[in-house]
Amino acid sequence: MDGEWCPRGRCCTARPEVDDFDLEVSRRPTTPAEAVPGALVAHRTGRWFITPSGVRVDLRSRKNLTVLMRRLGEQRCDAPNTLLSAEALIADVWPGEKILRRPGRNRLHVAIRALRRMGIGALLRFDSGGYQLDPAVPFEFVDGDDG
Protein backbone atom coordinates (compact mmCIF):
# COMPACT_ATOMS: atom_id res chain seq x y z
CA MET A 1 0.00 0.00 0.00
CA ASP A 2 2.76 2.47 -0.80
CA GLY A 3 4.27 3.30 2.59
CA GLU A 4 1.05 3.00 4.55
CA TRP A 5 0.13 0.29 7.00
CA CYS A 6 -3.27 -0.80 8.11
CA PRO A 7 -3.34 -3.60 10.65
CA ARG A 8 -6.84 -5.00 10.30
CA GLY A 9 -7.71 -1.94 8.17
CA ARG A 10 -8.05 0.35 11.15
CA CYS A 11 -5.18 2.84 11.19
CA CYS A 12 -3.25 4.65 8.51
CA THR A 13 0.07 6.30 9.26
CA ALA A 14 3.58 6.13 7.92
CA ARG A 15 4.74 2.52 8.15
CA PRO A 16 7.18 1.92 10.99
CA GLU A 17 10.28 -0.06 10.06
CA VAL A 18 9.20 -3.10 12.07
CA ASP A 19 8.18 -6.54 10.85
CA ASP A 20 6.60 -7.74 14.09
CA PHE A 21 2.82 -7.34 13.75
CA ASP A 22 2.25 -7.14 17.52
CA LEU A 23 4.69 -4.26 17.84
CA GLU A 24 3.02 -2.45 14.92
CA VAL A 25 -0.41 -2.82 16.49
CA SER A 26 0.90 -1.51 19.81
CA ARG A 27 2.09 1.64 18.01
CA ARG A 28 -1.40 2.48 16.72
CA PRO A 29 -2.62 5.69 18.31
CA THR A 30 -5.33 5.18 20.90
CA THR A 31 -5.94 8.83 21.64
CA PRO A 32 -5.90 11.93 19.44
CA ALA A 33 -2.85 13.19 21.33
CA GLU A 34 -0.88 10.19 19.98
CA ALA A 35 -1.88 10.83 16.37
CA VAL A 36 0.41 12.27 13.71
CA PRO A 37 0.29 16.10 13.78
CA GLY A 38 -1.75 17.46 10.87
CA ALA A 39 -3.69 14.22 10.45
CA LEU A 40 -7.42 13.86 10.11
CA VAL A 41 -8.29 11.81 13.19
CA ALA A 42 -11.57 9.99 13.72
CA HIS A 43 -13.01 7.78 16.42
CA ARG A 44 -13.17 4.21 15.16
CA THR A 45 -16.99 4.32 15.25
CA GLY A 46 -17.13 7.66 13.40
CA ARG A 47 -18.82 9.44 16.30
CA TRP A 48 -16.35 12.35 16.14
CA PHE A 49 -13.40 13.56 14.12
CA ILE A 50 -10.63 16.10 14.52
CA THR A 51 -9.62 18.17 11.51
CA PRO A 52 -5.94 18.57 10.61
CA SER A 53 -6.15 22.07 12.13
CA GLY A 54 -7.23 20.59 15.47
CA VAL A 55 -10.98 21.34 15.50
CA ARG A 56 -13.02 18.54 17.11
CA VAL A 57 -16.42 17.82 15.54
CA ASP A 58 -18.95 15.69 17.41
CA LEU A 59 -21.23 13.57 15.20
CA ARG A 60 -22.98 11.53 17.92
CA SER A 61 -26.34 13.23 17.35
CA ARG A 62 -26.12 12.63 13.58
CA LYS A 63 -26.22 8.84 13.09
CA ASN A 64 -26.06 9.03 9.30
CA LEU A 65 -22.97 11.23 9.42
CA THR A 66 -21.38 8.90 11.97
CA VAL A 67 -21.82 5.92 9.63
CA LEU A 68 -20.65 7.95 6.64
CA MET A 69 -17.50 9.11 8.44
CA ARG A 70 -16.74 5.56 9.62
CA ARG A 71 -17.16 4.13 6.09
CA LEU A 72 -15.02 6.83 4.49
CA GLY A 73 -12.34 6.21 7.13
CA GLU A 74 -12.45 2.45 6.66
CA GLN A 75 -12.07 2.85 2.92
CA ARG A 76 -9.21 5.30 3.44
CA CYS A 77 -7.41 2.71 5.55
CA ASP A 78 -8.25 -0.38 3.51
CA ALA A 79 -7.66 1.08 0.04
CA PRO A 80 -6.47 4.71 0.14
CA ASN A 81 -6.59 5.24 -3.62
CA THR A 82 -9.97 3.62 -4.19
CA LEU A 83 -13.25 5.48 -4.42
CA LEU A 84 -16.43 4.47 -2.61
CA SER A 85 -19.36 4.54 -5.00
CA ALA A 86 -22.46 6.54 -4.18
CA GLU A 87 -24.47 3.32 -4.29
CA ALA A 88 -22.18 1.61 -1.75
CA LEU A 89 -22.34 4.61 0.59
CA ILE A 90 -26.13 4.82 0.33
CA ALA A 91 -26.41 1.10 1.15
CA ASP A 92 -24.09 1.51 4.18
CA VAL A 93 -25.57 4.73 5.55
CA TRP A 94 -29.22 3.76 5.05
CA PRO A 95 -29.11 -0.06 5.32
CA GLY A 96 -32.25 -1.98 4.50
CA GLU A 97 -34.05 1.04 3.10
CA LYS A 98 -35.37 0.78 -0.41
CA ILE A 99 -34.44 4.16 -1.82
CA LEU A 100 -34.87 5.16 -5.43
CA ARG A 101 -31.65 6.21 -7.15
CA ARG A 102 -32.30 9.95 -7.35
CA PRO A 103 -33.62 10.45 -3.77
CA GLY A 104 -30.79 8.25 -2.48
CA ARG A 105 -28.17 10.35 -4.19
CA ASN A 106 -29.85 13.48 -2.89
CA ARG A 107 -29.67 12.15 0.69
CA LEU A 108 -26.02 11.30 0.18
CA HIS A 109 -25.21 14.75 -1.26
CA VAL A 110 -26.88 16.41 1.74
CA ALA A 111 -24.84 14.24 4.14
CA ILE A 112 -21.59 14.87 2.23
CA ARG A 113 -22.26 18.61 2.20
CA ALA A 114 -22.87 18.54 5.96
CA LEU A 115 -19.51 16.79 6.59
CA ARG A 116 -17.76 19.30 4.36
CA ARG A 117 -19.28 22.24 6.23
CA MET A 118 -18.27 20.65 9.54
CA GLY A 119 -14.61 20.89 8.60
CA ILE A 120 -13.65 18.15 6.18
CA GLY A 121 -14.12 20.37 3.13
CA ALA A 122 -11.36 19.73 0.60
CA LEU A 123 -10.30 16.50 2.37
CA LEU A 124 -13.42 14.78 1.04
CA ARG A 125 -12.82 14.23 -2.65
CA PHE A 126 -15.32 13.37 -5.36
CA ASP A 127 -14.73 11.88 -8.76
CA SER A 128 -17.25 10.43 -11.18
CA GLY A 129 -16.54 7.03 -9.62
CA GLY A 130 -17.36 8.05 -6.05
CA TYR A 131 -15.97 9.57 -2.87
CA GLN A 132 -12.80 9.26 -0.82
CA LEU A 133 -10.85 10.96 1.93
CA ASP A 134 -7.79 12.57 0.37
CA PRO A 135 -5.02 9.92 0.41
CA ALA A 136 -2.37 12.65 0.62
CA VAL A 137 -3.57 13.71 4.08
CA PRO A 138 -2.62 11.42 6.98
CA PHE A 139 -5.64 9.70 8.50
CA GLU A 140 -5.92 7.80 11.75
CA PHE A 141 -8.67 5.95 13.58
CA VAL A 142 -8.38 6.04 17.37
CA ASP A 143 -10.15 4.12 20.12
CA GLY A 144 -9.93 6.70 22.89
CA ASP A 145 -12.81 9.06 23.48
CA ASP A 146 -10.83 12.07 24.69
CA GLY A 147 -10.81 13.86 21.36
Q: Which of 17-26, 40-49, 61-70 has the lowest mean pLDDT?
A: 17-26
Average of per-residue pLDDT across 128-145:
89
Average of per-residue pLDDT across 100-129:
94
Question: CA–CA separation, 88 vs 142, rounded Å?
Answer: 24
Task: Kindly tell me the number of DSSP H helices and DSSP E strands found in the chain.
Answer: 4, 8
CATH class of 4-142: mainly alpha
What Å distances lie between residue 62 and 28, 58, 137, CA to CA?
A: 27, 9, 24
- Whether residue 131 is predicted with pLDDT greater than 90 in this model: the reply is yes
pTM for this entry: 0.77
- Are residues 32 and 41 in contact, defined by beta-carbon separation less than 8 angstroms? yes
Average of per-residue pLDDT across 2-11:
41
Average of per-residue pLDDT across 103-117:
96
Q: Where are the strands (E) in the chain, listed by range? A: 4-5, 11-14, 40-43, 48-50, 56-58, 124-127, 130-133, 139-142
| Per-residue confidence (pLDDT) for residue 15, from 0 to 100 | 36
For the chain, the domains span 4-142
What is the layout of strands, in order, in the sheet containing 4-5? 4-5, 11-14, 139-142, 40-43, 48-50, 56-58
The average confidence (pLDDT) of the chain is 80
- pLDDT digit string (tens) for 50-101? 999 889 999 999 999 999 999 999 999 999 899 999 999 999 999 999 999 9
| Per-residue confidence (pLDDT) for residue 14, from 0 to 100 | 38
| Per-residue confidence (pLDDT) for residue 126, from 0 to 100 | 94
Q: Are strands 11-14 and 139-142 parallel, antiparallel or unpaired?
A: antiparallel
Which residues lie below 8 Å from residue 32, measured CB to CB, with a gap of 6+?
41, 50, 56, 142, 144, 146, 147
- Whether residue 107 is predicted with pLDDT greater than 50 in this model: the reply is yes
